[in-house]
């Protein structure tokens, strides 16, 4: 009798363990299907309903970072290899275009000639990937300039994509990173630019 009771107790314990594992697996599957593993959590650990998409962001020095929300909220960590060394690529500024020659004032629509010049550039630059960064002078509001610089950079990125070039990031800095002081017409003209960074 004792032998049978012992066997029954062990069997019930094993069955409970299997049931627990299956329950966790089922719950995890349900959560994954519900998208909760792809949502940000609030301070109480509850899903906020806001989805996140982890991506790799490459800084101007060519080093990779894991980010969520483009790093805007601070969700960023260095991408390192198994030895703990940051993953970096050779990067250099391979093109700076004066936007006066490519866009009308206050516009982010490329001229036909500008589009063709950019297509030729991206077809022959022979880089693994590109980062496109837009800049403006200090006229107009900061908010307006941020939007204009980003839209112009996006227009350049669209040409790159049209010829099969890989653009890994598009940025708009507005007036915040001037190349020259904005106290002269020539200085402002040099600040109105789109910078192309090549990752090789």
Domain boundary among 40, 64, 88: 88
Residues 13 and 81 in one domain: no
Give the separation between CA 197 and CA 148, rounded to whole angstroms: 19
User: CATH no. for residue 155?
Assistant: 3.30.1330.60
Residues 137 and 187 in one domain: yes
Is residue 71 within 8 Å of 53, Cβ to Cβ?
Answer: no
Give the separation between CA 121 and CA 125, rounded to whole angstroms: 6
**Weakly modelled stretches of the chain, pLDDT under 50:** 4, 7-8, 10-41, 71-73
Residues 99 and 172 in one domain: yes
Residues 155 and 114 in one domain: yes
pLDDT tens, position by position, 27-71: 333 333 333 334 444 555 555 555 555 676 677 666 777 776 554
Q: What pLDDT score was predicted for residue 143? A: 96
Residues 118 and 184 in one domain: yes
Residues 135 and 80 in one domain: no
Residues 96 and 140 in one domain: yes
Share of the chain above pLDDT 90, in %: 50
Is residue 192 within 8 Å of 137, Cβ to Cβ?
Answer: yes
- Bridge partners (DSSP) of residue 55 are 67
Q: Which domain holds residue 12?
A: 2-50
Residue with tokens 């009308």: 104
How many domains, in total, are found in the chain?
A: 3
Residues 31 and 127 in one domain: no
DSSP 3-state assignment of 54?
coil
Sequence-separated (6 or more) residues with CB below 8 Å from residue 36: 47
Residues 132 and 84 in one domain: no
């Amino acid at each position: 009798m004792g032998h049978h009771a012992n066997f029954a107790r062990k069997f019930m314990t094993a069955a409970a363990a299997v049931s627990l594992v299956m329950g966790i697996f089922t719950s995890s599957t349900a959560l994954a299907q519900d998208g909760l593993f792809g949502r940000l959590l609030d301070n109480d650990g509850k899903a906020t309903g806001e989805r996140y998409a982890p991506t790799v962001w490459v800084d101007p020095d060519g080093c990779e970072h894991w980010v969520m929300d483009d790093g805007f909220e601070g969700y960023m960590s260095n991408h390192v290899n198994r030895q703990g060394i940051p993953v970096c690529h050779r990067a250099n500024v391979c093109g700076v275009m004066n936007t006066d020659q490519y866009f009308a004032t206050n516009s982010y629509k490329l001229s036909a000639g500008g589009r063709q010049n950019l297509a030729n550039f991206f077809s022959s630059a022979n880089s693994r990937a590109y980062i496109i960064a837009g800049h403006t002078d200090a006229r107009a509001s900061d908010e307006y300039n941020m939007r204009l610089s980003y839209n112009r950079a996006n227009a350049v990125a669209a040409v790159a994509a049209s010829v099969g070039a890989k653009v890994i990031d598009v940025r708009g800095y507005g007036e915040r990173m001037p190349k020259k002081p904005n106290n002269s017409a020539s200085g402002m003209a040099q600040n109105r630019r789109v910078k192309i960074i090549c990752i090789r």
